[in-house]
Structure 1
Amino acid sequence: MIPSATHHRTAAAGDLTALDRHGDDDVAPGMVDFAVNVRGRTPGWMLDALAVRLPDLAGYPLRDDHDAAVDAIAQAHERDRREVLPLAGAAEGFALLARLRPRTAVVIAPTFTEPERVLTSAGVHVTRVVCPEPWDVAAADVPDDADMVIVGNPTNPTSVLHTREAIESLRRPGRVVVVDEAFADVTLAVRSGVEIDEPESLVGIAHPDVIVIRSITKTFALAGLRAGYLCATADLIGDLTAGRPHWPVGTLQLTALRAALSDRGRAHARAQARIVRADREAMCAALTDAGIDVCGTPAASFVLVRTIDGTARKNHLARAGHAVRSCANFAGLGPDHLRLAVREPHVVAGLIAAWRGDDDAEHHLDTPGTDIDDGN
């Protein structure tokens, strides 16, 4: 079983369409977790690195720790250290975008809802540009006057991996392109028989108008720590950090960043990418064999499926002890789409058994829209 969270937010628990509702709202203690895209358990060596620093928490974060994290990120992605900014989670990176004062920000949907939520809260005019299935960003009709465009690669929740060229085609004079690469470290391609890690990532390319936001919390199972980083030009980072509070990233976060971007951490991410690929292929085959509609060509650590009466399906699975993520709050999708985190074959078999149980009792399905209180 994939361990479930022992605590989660409840503010949006009753509203599947709220922008601030995320997968953790769907998981109660003891459930098999397909709703949150965190990979298993935190590696032991990462916990050891963090434990060593616990006695240092009486003091403020050190400049040496900040510099060590920056150096590790810069070296991993072959960027100038002035082009690296540690973050208190990728979500902080989205919140900082408002400091660029865009006139019109476009989010290419379906996509992670947090950028839209925080920019709108900051008074930025946000426009959704919805791509039709199979959600190719090349089909996005982005207005020419948009001075900020935000795109996920791979995109949450569709699991689509866009080509680097397609992302770069969004660039225009006077526009900043923001790429959410929270799951890029588990993407993989095979070209001419050679495996390529992070094949479409822009994190190592110093475009003057591109911001790449990354997370370490998914692949290293550190969601409770809130740690990430972004790469952009020094000028953009200067604008993003103007007025940022002192000590925005704590000692343990900086320690985790340094460890995750070390040679050992990079090797762990590469190993996870291969596990994800194998488990995803097996999962998609099993779902398809069970008559479950897998959407698109998934490339990340989650897959998107389509089902009739998705909210009722979600509720039945919850009662059977399986948490899945409703896509009711993703523009361009809806409650009949569910996102499933990639899990091991025996865990997927349990989900399919519960799903087939729903099929056997189809006439008992709840009315769509009546969501159980997953938090209690």
Structure 2
Amino acid sequence: MSRADRPSPLRVAVIPDSFKGTLDARRVATAIADGVRRAAGEAQQDIIVDELPFADGGEGTLDAVLAAWGTSAQSCTTTDAIGRPCNAEYAVSADGRIGLIEAAQANGLAAVSDVPLRAAEATTRGVGTLVRAALDEGVDEILLTIGGSATTDAGTGLLRELGARFFDVNGVELPDGGGSLLNLATIDLSGIDPRVRDVTWRIATDVTNPLTGPQGAAHVFGPQKGAALEDVEHLDRCLKHLAEVVAESGGKSLDGVAGLGAAGGLGALLYAFFTVELVPGWEMVSDALGAAEKIGQADLVFTGEGRFDTQSLDGKVIHGVRQLTAETTPMIVLAGQVAVDAEALQASGVTAAFSIGRGPGTLEETAPHTAENLTWTAYQVARLLLTP
């Protein structure tokens, strides 16, 4: 890129995911931007760097959105997936219209990893408490991100906390958890908080799995939540039965709907009975952050995550950034590990990908140096692109 070819000032968008377990997205963006600015200074290139920490609707989404909205997290006392009290946070936009809830704050797998996992009993009740807190703020739209869950209850716990009731054929209320849903006979929404119907829901999913079947919530995600083979089969039957009862109760069909298998079907009942839009997680975050405008103005885009592999190109942050980046705009990926081959890289539309490793070492050895390695690698790449 010769100086004559470069606009002045050059506009660079830095829009990375977090490096999970090492650096959050904000610190990743700052580290990359520092390297780019240093190279631009040496090349005497005027530059504007837009730092935009990003996320795909999973871990880190709340922090990314708070940074973009310029608001502080709201705190709420709720319960985790096995009913233990815990503290959680949510976000409200500066104008008070939009609430963002990262469901894993209340039903996350990591929060219950200290005890044997109980896949059939785990509940989303705590997420319902967060929803109520956001509704109490007066929001008229709720953005719900649902990755990283310990639950497979199809969102029954969430709705229980907001006034719904679930009965067996004898009129006995079912216990919490997806494992009881095979006995479901009646869904009673008469006591539901009316605000649940009044708000618009957007639910972020980073997978396309349906609710049931071989690619459904129980079979694909149940084992990581502690479900043995017999538990997986039972939970899948429970979810299938739930879908049948929903259809008999006048709800929208849940069969084969892409994305409803995410987070143990957390969004299934909301989708069935209320005004809900299912969207890719990166798309929801992009809208909340105004990312399309920032990337659209850029002459050069940097993104990244801890490991760049084929999953990165299927609904994750790098995929989303690629969708928002013009084909003529160079897009650079920086990652702790690059695990895509040349053919996959070319097909992805990514211009180039670089590992930030500066020598052999274990993750434990290199993790403390992630920020400085990001800055160094971004500096080297920017020098290559900006030096006359």
Q: TM-score, normalised by structure 1?
A: 0.28
Decide which structure has greater helix share: 2
Q: TM-score, normalised by structure 2?
A: 0.28
- Answer 1 or 2: higher relative contact order, Cα 8 Å, separation at least 6: 1
The structure that has the greater radius of gyration is 2
